[in-house]
Structure 1
């Protein structure tokens, strides 16, 4: 069997975890085919969502021309969130050298120089996360795989570092003005950390309420469910085009990914209904790749 690239295996793993969370414990071979096809292309998931959103918006506008379009995922804001947090964290690491634990090397930045910028970056990053929370709660970010517990990572770091700074490193600061800057930056960091923990509590409540299921609903955002068939037809057309493209370009890779999807679904306790002699992808016409009706 053809070797599957690591990036495809990783995408498939994420997609299967998401599928297991949002579906029953029964699956069909078509589910494995679709998971494999989306995992094989870095743009397939995004392209399918664009096709779905375009179809939903068109159906909604026909009913009500003044209706707001579905809010897209602001990928730029998501990128800035992580870049800001990483820059703040990157500034924390050399500051650890000021503490009594790691005195052997000099820090790249002094606490007086970096704490306020790091605190501001932390606040901006968590503010962006708070703005993105409604989308996360509805499974619109990271394939629905970003759970509320992820907020505990920045929360614990941002609360824990100022405590470390107060216990181990404040003795090295002689300048009163430097103390003021360090305390101000520490308070901003602690505030951002507490905010992240509050986001975790809010997100946990949203997850418990089942908001993530919207991610698995192809009709999410549709104002009239009577227009559902129009959305399914648009998605059927997208699956047919993408399947034909992959069958022409990488038939062996698609077959291998579908076989791996079946194996991993079974490993996750999913019963796959597969008749003897059923083909995975070889010989399956592109017209058979359809959006499942819910």
Structure 2
């Protein structure tokens, strides 16, 4: 498989998995649109920019309520970054620095604090998970792999202490280190569990839903109308990239069949049809 095919397949899987199709026919009807977003450079980014602009326009008409909604989303994103930074900080406080040859805090002193910081980090990730899964944070830029990376980081460090640094522990009073290690293990396992739950739920990674960020869900129709207008402008773009879109559509159809979202016979029929489209936003 070429690098281009691999990248296209990854985008296809993300877009299809986030779509939550009603049935096989709705998935097949969306094949050209998914192929366009996966094949045309910048198309997915432009569509999301259009969606966000429509959401902001709708929210602006709602006044103070919309402003509060935007502030909340900003703080959620700050918290996501803080959670990742805290996980790294928990390790950095008591890990051996390659520059100084020693830790910022000795294990005996720093492990309880570091363990608490690790628990806070993963606690924030758990609290933010519904927003991450819905795409309200950064869409596909906030995949569930974040949880996996944090969990592996914390567990690897926890394993390294008894394996390589137990000589630094005071045998007469090991409890500060033991409690800190317990915090790292609980936090690391919690992050891994969060990742597994997200994968089983089909939310890793995800894309923002149509109404994500709206102050009032009643404005969803206005957002759909804005996306319909955007799609209508993409038809000539799709024709310019026709060969690429058709090639990627074949990959989309293959994925729909492999994941049993669509019947193979119907997928072959769609693939044999040279017509692309429809060029309007899919209705949930």
Structure-2-length-normalised TM-score? 0.64
Matches within 5 A, 1:1-294: 4-19=4-19, 22-28=20-26, 29-41=28-40, 43-62=42-61, 64-68=62-66, 69-70=69-70, 71=73, 109-110=101-102, 119=114, 122=118, 126=122, 129-130=125-126, 132-140=128-136, 141=138, 143=140, 146-147=143-144, 151=147, 154-155=150-151, 157-159=153-155, 161-166=157-162, 168-171=164-167, 173=168, 190-191=182-183, 193-195=185-187, 197-198=189-190, 217-222=209-214, 227-248=219-240, 250-271=241-262, 273=266, 278-281=273-276, 288-294=278-284
Q: Compared with structure 1, are the counterparts of its residues 76 and 202 closer, same or farther at alpha carbon in structure 2 (3 Å cutoff)?
A: closer
Assess if the C-alpha contact under 8 Å between 2:122 and 2:190 holds in 1. no
Change (3 A) 1:26 1:108: farther
8 Å CA contact 2:118–2:184 kept in 1: the answer is yes
Aligned partners of 2:50 and 2:227 also within 8 Å: yes
Q: What SS does structure 2 have at the residue aligned with 1:67?
A: helix
The TM-score normalised by the length of structure 1 is: 0.63
Count of matched residue positions in the alignment of Structure 1 and Structure 2: 267
Kept in 2: contact 1:239–1:291 (CA 8 A): yes
CA distance in 2, matches of 1:143, 1:72: 17
Please give the secondary structure, in 1, of the residue aligned with 2:246. Answer: helix
SS in 2 for 1:279: coil
SS of the aligned residue for 1:292 comes to coil
> 1:218-256, CA deviations, whole angstroms, 9 ceiling, x for partnerless residues?
2345465554432221011222334543543x3322211
1:44–1:93 distance in 2 versus 1, CA, 3 Å: farther
| Structure-2 change in CA distance of 1:112 and 1:76 (3 Å) | closer
* Structure 2 counterpart of 1:98: none
Asked whether the equivalents of residues 18 and 202 of structure 2 are also in contact (C-alpha less than 8 Å), the reply is no
